[in-house]
Amino acid sequence: MKWRSLEESNSIDLRPLSEIFTERKVLIEKYVPAEVRALHQRVVAQLQADGIAQRALQAGAKAPAFELKDHRGKPVSSASLLSRGRLVICFFRGRWDPFCCGQLEAMNQIVSQIQAAGASLVAISPQVEKQAFFMADQHKLKFPLLSDLGNQVAKKFALVYRVPGEQQEIYKRVFINLPLVNGDQSWELPIPATYILDRDGIVLYASANPDYTDRPEPLDILATLEKL
């Protein structure tokens, strides 16, 4: 199944992200076997039951400082970004996830508005720089994709889990090669999460959800940013 980039679409999709995701879920129901969908849902349910979202960094906490390389190999530090204003961070799983692609394409549409509100936008995943470059290039993203090798930053935000063995086998069958994409054998991923930090690195807004098909609406993020 091919997830179109903005360039490949006839026009920019301005629908709410929830609408776009609903359309993708319909395609998944059509093409992905029921037992595979059920397995993914069980993993999400187990992560929810384990309370991973509640353990993740919450509003009011001080975010850990970080320095990571972007998709062009350039070091990017949180200190440098925060010296210019507030910071929006999207933690995502990888370019192989259609919901991650949809979220980042939607965030791409409001980059200039985020900047006008006095903030920067970055997205962080465990994928290696080469994969991040491919994603940024394919989807024409206008903000940095940072490579968090080994999920070291995501672990400090308490977002990381290990893909269960049964789900690993499913990923292998559909050619989602996480050891290649992420450059390690850990089979660890972050749950999707979005944060807004103030200039001192304090978390003003936090949304972390193990259900990878449910992400904050970009316009809601923008509205929150403009109110803060």
How many alpha carbons lie under 13 Å from residue 6 in its C-beta half-sphere? 19
Q: Take residue 154 and report the two structure tokens written for it.
A: 């995501």
Number of domains in the chain: 1
Tell whether 12 is covered by a domain.
Answer: no
Percent with pLDDT over 70 in the chain: 94
Tell whether 2 is covered by a domain.
Answer: no
For the entire predicted model, the pTM comes to 0.92
Residue 201 has pLDDT above 60, yes or no: yes
Q: Take residue 71 and report the two structure tokens written for it.
A: 């998709």
Tell whether 207 is covered by a domain.
Answer: yes
Strand order in the sheet with 193-197: 75-77, 67-69, 145-147, 119-125, 86-91, 193-197, 203-208
Percent with pLDDT over 90 in the chain: 92
Domain with 111, as residue range(s), is 17-227
Tell whether 6 is covered by a domain.
Answer: no
CATH number of the domain enclosing 129:
3.40.30.10
Tell whether 212 is covered by a domain.
Answer: yes
Tell whether 7 is covered by a domain.
Answer: no
Tell whether 3 is covered by a domain.
Answer: no
